[in-house]
Amino acid sequence: MSRIGKKPVPVPAGVTATVEGQLVKAKGAKGELSFVVNEEVLVKLEDGAVSVEPRDSSKNARSKWGMARTMISNIFVGVGQGFEKKLEINGVGYRAAMQGKDVQLQLGFSHEVVYKVPAGITVSVPKPTEIVVSGIDKQVVGQVAAEIREYRLPEPYKGKGVKYAGEQIVRKEGKKK
């Protein structure tokens, strides 16, 4: 029994949801998203909430049950409030700046790294050492943040690199004389 899947997803205020067969659509202040639920999961909209349940008791249907409920919950939060990931840049001379709609990163390479921001995602640089990635699709926001972080992962000796805000870097002790 999925503890997550059992709970119906309430439709938040300001968000309109429609269920057409296996397609769940949500429209809100931030935009519009849809999710196609797997055929092994049954979706119903009743009493201002979307309920999800497996069509049968097979392992495959039960394994997709909780994930379908979470994806529906994420599209409701996305169109209502949106998602945001913050990145911090540590290191001497490491900084970021906006170049039109693209992000220009100076990360200790001989050249500047220019990251092209995909459609539907907003990237802002409030400080030269801080990047804020926001959008309505949780997966795309996380993917963009991971791709920016991947240019210079935080290293364990001095902690230099791009890291998520609040991320703990396990530090190592340097060489001893």
Least confident of 53-67, 74-88, 123-137: 53-67
Do residue 32 and residue 59 come from a single domain? yes
Domain that holds residue 16: 3-80
Do residue 127 and residue 147 come from a single domain? yes
Q: Would you call 132 exposed, middle or buried from its count of C-beta atoms within 10 A (0-12, 13-18, 19+)? A: middle
Least confident of 1-15, 34-48, 60-74, 96-110: 1-15
Per-residue burial over 74-111, b if 16 or more Cβ lie within 10 Å, else e, is bbbbbbbebbebebbbbbeebebeeeeeebebbbeeee
Do residue 75 and residue 20 come from a single domain? yes
Choose one of 80, 95, 114: the last residue of a domain. 80
Do residue 94 and residue 51 come from a single domain? no
Q: What is the pLDDT of residue 62?
A: 87
pLDDT in tens, 100-113: 999 999 999 999 99
pTM of the model: 0.88
Do residue 76 and residue 91 come from a single domain? no
Token pair, residue 175, equals 């060489």
Which three-class secondary structure state does DSSP give residue 122?
Answer: strand
Is the pLDDT at 73 greater than 80? The verdict is: yes
Do residue 68 and residue 92 come from a single domain? no
Q: Tell me the CB-side half-sphere exposure of residue 152, using CA atoms within 13 A.
A: 21
Q: Using alpha carbons, list the distances in angstroms from residue 106 to 4, 151, 156.
A: 43, 10, 20
Instruction: Work out how many domains the chain is built from and give that number.
Output: 2
Q: Which residue has the higher pLDDT, 147 or 46?
A: 147
Q: Using alpha carbons, list the distances in angstroms from residue 163 to 87, 89, 126.
A: 6, 6, 16
Token pair, residue 89, equals 């840049």
Choose one of 80, 97, 117: the last residue of a domain. 80
Do residue 90 and residue 158 come from a single domain? yes
Is the pLDDT at 68 greater than 80? The verdict is: yes
Please report, for the domain that includes residue 94, its CATH number: 3.90.930.12
Do residue 25 and residue 92 come from a single domain? no
Cα distance between residue 69 and residue 9, in whole Å: 7
Mean of the pLDDT values across residues 22-26? 92
Q: Which amino acid is at 142?
A: G
Cα distance between residue 77 and residue 87, in whole Å: 21
Do residue 101 and residue 146 come from a single domain? yes
Cα distance between residue 139 and residue 175, in whole Å: 40
Do residue 34 and residue 61 come from a single domain? yes
Q: What is the pLDDT of residue 1?
A: 61
Q: What is the pLDDT of residue 177?
A: 80
Do residue 68 and residue 12 come from a single domain? yes
pLDDT in tens, 134-177: 999 999 999 999 999 999 999 999 989 999 999 999 999 988 88
